[in-house]
Homo-oligomer: A and B are copies of this chain.
Amino acid sequence: MGLNPTMNDVAREANVALKTVSRFVNGETNINPILAARIADAISTLGYRRNLAAASIRPGWTSKTLGLVIGDLANPYYSVLTRAIESYARSRGYLVISASSDENGVQHDLLVDRLLEQRIDGLIVVPPTEAGRDWSTIPPPIPPLVLLDRPLDVPAADVVIADNTGGAREGVAELVRNGCRRVAWISDSPSIYTVRERYAGYRQALEESGIPFDESLVTTTAHTSEDAAAAVANAMRSSGADAIFAGNNRASVGALLAFRDNGRLPLIGFDDFEAAQLSTPAVSVVSPDIPEMGRLSAELVLDRVAGSTRPPVTHMLPTKLTLRGSERV
């Protein structure tokens, strides 16, 4: 291994002053070509690499690093989000340290603290399902912060969310437009923000169509695809459902599983998933623009890192209804 050569080593090797090497490394122009050449030589013979960690502790300098706390990187939703953030950040010279909270508030808080200690320049966070500590108890200064996917009451933070209510409303309305009158709702628990929002859209669509609400068509206990499959089967057999709206992709998968044994019903799901296009007929979905949500978050946080003092904003991004066939029979 050996030790890492420092700027001082380069200076000695090239027979110039430390400061001249610093200038060279930082790409300043006012520098004697002769010395520059000597320095370049010294750098390559020594294999010098600058130590960004050391540079970052100087006043006015930063780590050129962003922190990101999500639920679970193995979940395609989060990995696509993370990739979008990474891409935009890198286009502006930033690296991303991402960490998974497993939706656990304690773990989430630990990660936030660690990232703060690592002196990331900005922070993007998807608040965990099991709420963590109140942000107001974290002593300032806190670097630029973006709340992603789920809003929270943090005065200084920008917020980027999807129009969950509008999306669900549009999806349900499409089913109704196709003649369905008894649309079943299948989802996870309403204690989850996105579920609440989407469910509100379901209710809105029914109301706007003058369709009476029937509680027996609603399931909000489907935590897994298997749960959802059972709920869908039940809605078909016992509740006289004539269509299914799936509140997330696990619920959609559950519906497909249920359809194997029980025939099929018109179906629209929230959130896209890989299998949606392969099933027959392909599954129609309303889905947020995940890459754009990621990109925008990174842009907002980096603008603030760069000095923007614009008042905090909440961006609610529209969803998109993709009709693939499953919305009718």
Residues from chain B with Cβ under 8 Å of A44 in the complex: 139
Residues from chain B with Cβ under 8 Å of A47 in the complex: 139-141
List, sorted by A's number, 9 A–B pairs whose CB atoms are closer than 8 Å: A1-B140, A1-B141, A49-B117, A65-B118, A95-B115, A257-B278, A275-B275, A275-B278, A275-B279
In the bound complex, CA of A79 to CA of B274 (Å): 15
Residues from chain B with Cβ under 8 Å of A51 in the complex: 57, 117, 119
Q: Is the CB of B90 within 8 A of A50?
A: no
Contacting residue for A82 out of B73, B113, B279, CB 8 A: B73
Decide if A98 is an interface residue (CB 8 Å cutoff): yes
In the bound complex, CA of A256 to CA of B141 (Å): 54
Residues from chain B with Cβ under 8 Å of A260 in the complex: 280
In the bound complex, CA of A77 to CA of B1 (Å): 32
Q: Is the CB of B90 within 8 A of A83?
A: no
- A25 → B minimal CB distance (Å): 11
Q: How many residues of A contact B (CB 8 A)?
A: 56
Decide if A4 is an interface residue (CB 8 Å cutoff): yes
Q: Is the CB of B97 within 8 A of A50?
A: no
- A83 → B minimal CB distance (Å): 4
| Closest chain B residue, CB of each to CB of A3 | B141
- A290 → B minimal CB distance (Å): 9
Interface residues of A in 252-298 (CB under 8 A from B): 253, 256-257, 260, 273-275, 278-280
| Closest chain B residue, CB of each to CB of A73 | B83
Residues from chain B with Cβ under 8 Å of A99 in the complex: 86, 90, 95-96
Contacts known (A52-B119, A83-B72, A280-B260); A98 close to B96, Cβ less than 8 A: yes
In the bound complex, CA of A50 to CA of B116 (Å): 9
Residues from chain B with Cβ under 8 Å of A56 in the complex: 53
Residues from chain B with Cβ under 8 Å of A274 in the complex: 76, 273-275
Residues from chain B with Cβ under 8 Å of A95 in the complex: 97, 99, 114-115, 118
| Closest chain B residue, CB of each to CB of A90 | B99
Decide if A239 is an interface residue (CB 8 Å cutoff): no
Q: Is the CB of A100 within 8 A of B79?
A: no
In the bound complex, CA of A275 to CA of B280 (Å): 12
Residues from chain B with Cβ under 8 Å of A78 in the complex: 79
Decide if A220 is an interface residue (CB 8 Å cutoff): no
- A119 → B minimal CB distance (Å): 5
